[in-house]
Chain A
């Protein structure tokens, strides 16, 4: 086993889950002892049980994945060579940008900017930007008309 093996996504995911569940378990335990006068009915009983089970499962998945890596077998996507692309990073950044834009310019302009960026980068090509901006405006308008008029949601 090498340190490098831990950077593979198939190993990294259970590792991250394990760290998250360890933190959760720590907080659950800090809520008080498990067995007080109310015994098993304490608020932290189920969280402690499920997180402990989860940690053990994650450790087991990690062990399996490390074993597979040692044997030269890889996860389903790693085998195909599928990697997280710049396009996906931009789409994720766009999702967070929507939240910032919501505060800066309001929800409707934020939606238009979000959809425009999404349209431009979802496609492989970046041609017809003007057409995409127009389409974004139309989609934004339709979605808001749908929500606000048809379904009566107030923004």
Chain B
């Protein structure tokens, strides 16, 4: 079947009732989690992860895609209205959007943010569809030593992205890798670090690690927030009224922003998304800076420039498409959400790589279709239908919210593994990560270490088996290319991180 034929069959799968409902449900769950400051799309997928066991795979993946796209978009709503970005990727949107809110143009800013998100998301997915076949060809050229170097590239680049905190990120990666070595060996049936214990023999599963790192540690972090602080945020939106008709962007404003800004920002977002660990925050920062540089009115930036909102939002939603490329073609997640989506694939025994993009396209194309529909249909439609009520989501009773999250997390760890030991693992990891996050140790690198650690070890040792322990095998062209790329990115990011970012 041709690529287009496969894409159309992906739409056919998506429009099956259960898959489409899952997408819409996922979109609204993602939106709620993105709007509420402190909650993220990653947390939404983490809580969903144990439930995916009983779902059909396509249904689970459609739901994840809905959460992902909404998670990137929803953060802009609180960033604009109350100057608290619901997601880190909306930080730059808040810089301009909140100024417009103060001028009484909040609804217009939300409208522009949604429009830009829809355009960015759509361009990102179209690029994903176009680039996937090329990515497959590239992935097929990479042999085992090259794969080991690629995973190493991902580890190093993700840690280098953290700037001054790279050492802490690397320590978290190592701890993640250490946790993945417990249990049976990667290549031979040898028990490692089990101390003769049967429960340790089964190893530390991915779901408890992810639930502990994101859900339990987040609940403990949120418990630090006093009620009166939360009340202040809640009260600030109490009497806020937004009219639907104000959401529609004016043609003159769109002309002033210019199609070039949307396309350029989407391209920046997409290609930054391809980089492991870069994520929406970096994409929106780079696009915002570029929009300001190339603007006819750079002086307007910081006092409510629509160009800034358009650049930031179109790029962070284009990241969704970009981050899927390395995840699907190489099994290297582009950000926290794709790391958890990778976990969902692994739950079903699917190992991402060139195979999934050639022989298992029936699993991938509904994901493409789901992302596309979420971007170009659900974002505008949901805004026009429920837009005026979005901001009320901030007023959800936080005690009920966090108690539910805590219970879903702890039951989820049990439901996924049927093992009380894994609940203990989730709780212990959650407490440790909570303390580490307070000192700016990133949780996402722990997850990547746990997820990619066994892959790295497998590829590394297999390469050495092939070469009879000759390390020169890593100097083969494909492997050498990734090693050189690693050096290039480390040098580039060291320079880039010296630039001061506004948030």
Instruction: Tell me if B464 and A115 are in contact (CB < 8 A).
Output: no
B170 nearest in chain A by CB position: A57
User: Nearest chain A CB to B415's CB is how many angstroms away?
Assistant: 4
C-alpha gap A58/B168 in the complex (Å): 8
Q: Is A41 an interface residue (CB 8 A)?
A: yes
Instruction: Tell me if B193 and A24 are in contact (CB < 8 A).
Output: yes
* A153 with B415, Cβ < 8 A, contacts A57-B174, A75-B439, A123-B399 known: yes
Residues facing B in A69-126 (CB within 8 A) are 75-77, 82, 85, 87-88, 91-92, 95-96, 98-99, 102-103, 107, 111, 114-115, 118-119, 122-125
Residues facing A in B400-436 (CB within 8 A) are 400, 402-404, 406-408, 410-411, 414-415, 420, 423-424, 427, 430-431, 435-436
User: Nearest chain B CB to A150's CB is how many angstroms away?
Assistant: 8
CB-defined contacts of B175 to chain A, threshold 8 Å: 17, 20, 54
Instruction: Tell me if A118 and B403 are in contact (CB < 8 A).
Output: yes
Report which of A45, A77, A123, A147 forms a contact with B438, defined as CB distance below 8 A: A77
Report which of B168, B407, B430 forms a contact with A140, defined as CB distance below 8 A: B407
* A41 with B464, Cβ < 8 A, contacts A54-B175, A75-B439, A99-B420 known: yes
C-alpha gap A110/B193 in the complex (Å): 32
Report which of B223, B406, B414, B469 forms a contact with A107, defined as CB distance below 8 A: B414
Report which of B54, B220, B227 forms a contact with A123, defined as CB distance below 8 A: B227
C-alpha gap A54/B159 in the complex (Å): 13
* A46 with B460, Cβ < 8 A, contacts A118-B406, A125-B227 known: yes
Instruction: Tell me if A21 and B174 are in contact (CB < 8 A).
Output: yes
User: Nearest chain A CB to B62's CB is how many angstroms away?
Assistant: 15
C-alpha gap A96/B407 in the complex (Å): 13
Instruction: Tell me if B457 and A46 are in contact (CB < 8 A).
Output: yes
* A50 with B177, Cβ < 8 A, contacts A99-B420, A124-B227 known: yes
User: Nearest chain A CB to B181's CB is how many angstroms away?
Assistant: 5
Residues facing A in B197-241 (CB within 8 A) are 216, 219-220, 223-224, 226-228
* A95 with B399, Cβ < 8 A, contacts A57-B167, A57-B171, A115-B406 known: no
A8 nearest in chain B by CB position: B439
C-alpha gap A63/B438 in the complex (Å): 19
Instruction: Tell me if B415 and A54 are in contact (CB < 8 A).
Output: no
User: Nearest chain A CB to B294's CB is how many angstroms away?
Assistant: 35
Number of interface residues of B (CB under 8 A): 61
Q: Is B461 an interface residue (CB 8 A)?
A: yes
Instruction: Tell me if A91 and B220 are in contact (CB < 8 A).
Output: yes
Q: Is B68 an interface residue (CB 8 A)?
A: no
* A95 with B410, Cβ < 8 A, contacts A153-B53, A153-B54 known: yes
CB-defined contacts of B456 to chain A, threshold 8 Å: 46
Question: Which of B184-192, B354-362, B367-375 has 4 or more CB atoms under 8 Å from chain A?
Answer: B184-192
* A24 with B440, Cβ < 8 A, contacts A57-B171, A114-B407 known: no
Q: Is B465 an interface residue (CB 8 A)?
A: yes
User: Nearest chain A CB to B39's CB is how many angstroms away?
Assistant: 15
CB-defined contacts of B51 to chain A, threshold 8 Å: 146-147, 151, 153
Instruction: Tell me if A43 and B188 are in contact (CB < 8 A).
Output: yes
Instruction: Tell me if B178 and A50 are in contact (CB < 8 A).
Output: yes
Instruction: Tell me if B424 and A99 are in contact (CB < 8 A).
Output: yes
Residues facing A in B149-196 (CB within 8 A) are 167-168, 170-171, 174-175, 177-178, 181, 185, 187-188, 190, 192-193
CB-defined contacts of B168 to chain A, threshold 8 Å: 61
Instruction: Tell me if B55 and A122 are in contact (CB < 8 A).
Output: no
User: Nearest chain A CB to B401's CB is how many angstroms away?
Assistant: 10
Instruction: Tell me if B464 and A143 are in contact (CB < 8 A).
Output: no
* A119 with B415, Cβ < 8 A, contacts A9-B439, A54-B175, A91-B223 known: no
Instruction: Tell me if B469 and A40 are in contact (CB < 8 A).
Output: yes
C-alpha gap A103/B178 in the complex (Å): 30
Report which of A51, A77, A125 forms a contact with B178, defined as CB distance below 8 A: A51
Instruction: Tell me if A14 and B185 are in contact (CB < 8 A).
Output: no
Most buried by B among A88, A114, A118: A118
The 4 A-B pairs with the shortest beta carbon distances in the complex, nearest first, are A39-B469, A54-B174, A152-B54, A153-B415
